[in-house]
Chains A and B, each alone.
Chain A
Amino acid sequence: MAVTARAYGGPACPHCGAPLLVELIAAGEQRCVACTRAFEATPFSPPDVLVVVQGIAEAGPAGAVPCAQHSGNAAVANCSRCGVFMCDLCRVQIDGRELCPACFDRLAAEGALPSARSRVRNYRGLALLAGLGGCWMYFLGLLTGPLTIYLAIQAQRQRRRLQESDGLLTVIAAFLLGVMQICGGLWLVLMLLGVASASLKIK
C-alpha cells in the first residue's frame, strides 16, 4: 500500500483540528475557541536560521574564489563528490560529507545518504507476514520457511542499522515461525515419502 503525503496546515486544536494562532497561546492550560475543550500547551518560537554568506568583494584576495552557482558569493568549501566550489548557500552538510545541491539530490535519490532516506523497506512487517502466511499455507513450508528466516535476519540487520530499541520480539517470532514452517515442511515430505514407500511395498 502506498503511503500518501499528508497535508499539514500548522498548529491546530488537538481535539477538533481548528487552526490555532501560536502567538496568542500562553503556556499552560488552554481552551479551544471552536470546541471549548481543554488542553495543555507549550508554545515555542523557533529561531530563523540565517546563513551569512560572504560576498566575493568582502572575501579579500585570500578568499576570492567564487561559488560555482553564485558568482557573487565567496566559496567556502568543495563538494566532496564532484569538487565544485560552493558558498554557504549551496553547501549541504550531511552524514559527515559536504555536498553541492546536485550531488545531494543524486545521492539522496540513489539512497546513498542514510540521513536523507525517508522510505525504507519494512522487513519486520514482511517477515511477520511471511511467517503467518506460511503457517496458513503449511504445505509450502519448505519454501516459505527459508524466506521467513531470511526476512527476519534482514529485519534484525535493519534494526541494528537504524539503532532501534523495539521490535526484537517481532523478529524473534518471525524467525521461530520460519523454523516451524521448515520443520512442518520436512515432516510433510517425510510423511509423503513414508506413504509412497508403503504403497510400493504393498504393490
Chain B
Amino acid sequence: MNGPARRVFLARDAAWMERVRVYRTDEALEVAHISYVEVSLTRVFFDEVRLLTLHRYHGGRILWLLMALTALCGLGLLAGNSVPEIYNFFLVVTLAVAAWTLVTALLPRSIVTVYGKRARARMRFPYRAGKARRVYDDLCRRVGEAQARVRAAAAPAVPSPPEEPWPFPAAAAAPPEALSSPEPTAPLEPPSSPEPPSPLEPPAPSAPANGTAPGPGTLLS
C-alpha cells in the first residue's frame, strides 16, 4: 500500500449466516456485513454517536460449540479405546479442545458497542480485554472531538462590537499632535445663530439671478 491505511480493522462481530467486520475511518465506523458474494457497508458517524458501551460476558455460542466438540472428541476417545493409535490421537485432540473450552469459559469476552442515530456497531474482543479498553477509550476520544468540532462549526461567530459614533474614543484620547492636520476642520455642531455678515465683505448671492441650477453647496429655501 502506498500510504497509511484509511480503513483500520478494529474487530469482528458474530452473526448468524454472515461475517461482520468493523473498520475505523477518519470520520466513522464502517460495519461490513460480509457474504461470499458481496459486502454491505453501514456507517456509524462519530458526530452521530449517542452511546458507547463496554461490557464483558462469559459463554455464548462459541462456548456451546466447544462443549459439543469436546463431547464428540470424548466419544471418539471412548470409541477408539481398543486401538492405541486412534486413542492417542483422540486423547490429544480432546485435551486441546477441552483446554480451549476451559479458557473460553473462564476468560470473559469484551464487547464494545457504538450506538449511533441510525446504526449500531458492535465489536467483540475474545481474550483481549486490554485491546477492548484501548479501542473504547480511543472511540470515546474520537467521538468527543468530532462532536466538539461540529459544535464549534455550528456556533455563531463572535459579534463585533457596535461602531462608535465619530469621534472615536480612541481618537479623542490620542495626543493632540497626532490629530493635528494642516487644514483646520469645521466644527461639528452648527452654529446656534448665524453670524452677521461682515460689512467688509460683499453679501453672498442667495439665488442665481439667471435661473440656472444652483451650484453645489448652495441651500435652497
Listed in ascending order, the chain A residues whose CB lies under 8 Å from chain B are: 1-3, 8, 10-12, 14-15, 20, 22, 25, 37-47, 49-50, 117-122, 125-126, 129, 159-160, 162-166
Contacts and interface: CB of A to CB of B under 8 A. Distances in A.
B34 interface: yes
B7 A122 contact: no
Contact of B40 (A38, A118, A162, A165): A118
Interface stretch (B51-59, B97-105, B187-195): B51-59
B36 A44 contact: no
Interface of B: 1-3, 5-9, 17-18, 23, 33-42, 47-55, 57, 111, 113, 115, 117-120, 122, 136, 140, 143-144, 147, 150-151, 154
A45 B2 CA distance: 37
A39 B5 contact: no
Contacts of B18: 1, 3
B35 A125 contact: yes
Contact of A122 (B34, B118, B136): B34
Contacts of A50: 154
A47 B118 CA distance: 14
A123 B55 CA distance: 34
B147 A120 contact: no
B36 A3 contact: no
A164 B51 contact: no
B52 A10 contact: no
B161 to A, nearest CB: 23
Nearest to B1: A160
B16 to A, nearest CB: 11
A119 B147 contact: no
Contact of A40 (B6, B55, B154): B55
A20 B52 CA distance: 12
Given A43-B51, A49-B150, A118-B42, A3 B5 contact: no
B3 A163 contact: yes
Contacts of A43: 50-51
A3 B18 CA distance: 8
A14 B48 contact: no
Q: Which of B9, B53, B147 has the most CB of A within 10 A?
A: B53
B144 A44 contact: yes
A182 B143 CA distance: 49
